[in-house]
Amino acid sequence: MRSILITGGAGYIGNVICNLSLQKGYTVKAVDILWFNNEVPLINFTDPRYKFTKGDICDDGLLESLLGGVDYVIHTAGVVGDPACKKFPEIARKVNYDASINLINRAKLAGVKGLIFFSTCSNYGISDGIANEETTLKPLSPYSEAKVEIERYLMDDVKDLDWSICRLSTVYGASSRMRFDLTVNDFTLNAYINHYLDIFMPYTYRPYIHVFDVANVIVNIIESFDKAKNNVFNVGFDGENYQKIQIAEAVREYIPDVKIEVVDKGKDARDYQVDFSKLGEILDTKKTHTLRDGVKEIISLLEMGLINDPKDNVYYNTLPNLGE
């Protein structure tokens, strides 16, 4: 039975990985500071294979205590996204860089079999053509700059610890720790509530992936770690690169009366399409959801009233009291 430590285990992606790992029969340790939703750990709290710790990954003593007996570390914790990193630069640097380096070194000392590092396709910034894992990285924000630094540390400086680097597409879909500050979720919410979308830089491309498919890829990496180790993967699927305007049009298929207004200028200059063939060749992982599935999913949870106030700060990573 594999034992897994998931940092950020109550987060938007982390809690979905926890759920799937438990379904696979793994023993799961989850650690999270719970900046957002305190109730997420309750989902699995009575499962004897699940142990949740409320704590800060910047706490060196805590990390040391959690790593004992762990086979694999899945490092999802962080101050995620450009807005949060710009708003809290010191906290972001401490969590995204300093704590990540310390976690890697501690995992090595603890004899962990493998570490999976969550990076981002945003590292490509602006790409000519379709970016693969060998494409030159052009990070455009402190968030992606820190990810690139950790990637380089793993590849160039880490010995005696196997790793996989996962450059994630932009994620969408329903999660127990819901986020509405992600493009697909945000567009769907605003179309549903306001019947209006203003799209900045509508013809820029990004790749997208459902949150469950991220979890499925990560579990597949663990199950095929001998093949996946010491590799960099773009995590997503061919056919899932979209312009923002294409996402808006997909939303309009289900909310026909939404008005779409485009604005050619905007602050986010990222524009890249990504190749995912390496992931498919090594792991033979198949997608279970499409972007339209994600749109329908968000509409369903809103129609059923499962989100009381979707404008509440807990659903956005720019929470005003972050780090207090």
Task: List the chain domain ranges.
Answer: 3-171+208-235, 173-207+239-273+289-315
Can you identify the CATH homologous superfamily of domain 3-171+208-235? NAD(P)-binding Rossmann-like Domain (3.40.50.720)
CA distances from 52 to 32, 110, 274 (A): 8, 20, 35
> CATH class for domain 173-207+239-273+289-315?
alpha beta
Q: What residues in the chain have per-residue pLDDT under 50?
A: 324
Compute CA 185 distance to the chain's CA centroid, rounded to the nearest angstrom.
14
Residue whose pair of structure tokens reads 């070194």 in the numeric block? 105
Residue 58's SS3 state is coil
Whole-angstrom Cα distance, residue 121 to residue 274? 8
Q: At what angle do helices 244-252 and 183-194 cross, to 10 degrees?
A: 40
- What is the DSSP secondary structure assignment for residue 76, as one 8-state letter? -
Helix ranges, 229-317 (H): 244-252, 277-283, 291-303
Q: What confidence score (pLDDT) does residue 323 get?
A: 52
Instruction: Please check whether residue 74 is in contact with residue 6, taking contact to mean a CB–CB distance below 8 angstroms.
Output: yes
In a 13 Å sphere around the CA of 272, the CA atoms on its Cβ side amount to 28
Q: How many CB atoms lie within 10 A of CB 45?
A: 11
CA 108 to chain centre: 23
Residue 31: how many CB atoms within 10 A of its CB? 25
Residue 252 buriedness (CB in 10 A; 0-12 / 13-18 / 19+): middle
- Our separate counts of H helices and E strands in the chain read 12, 14
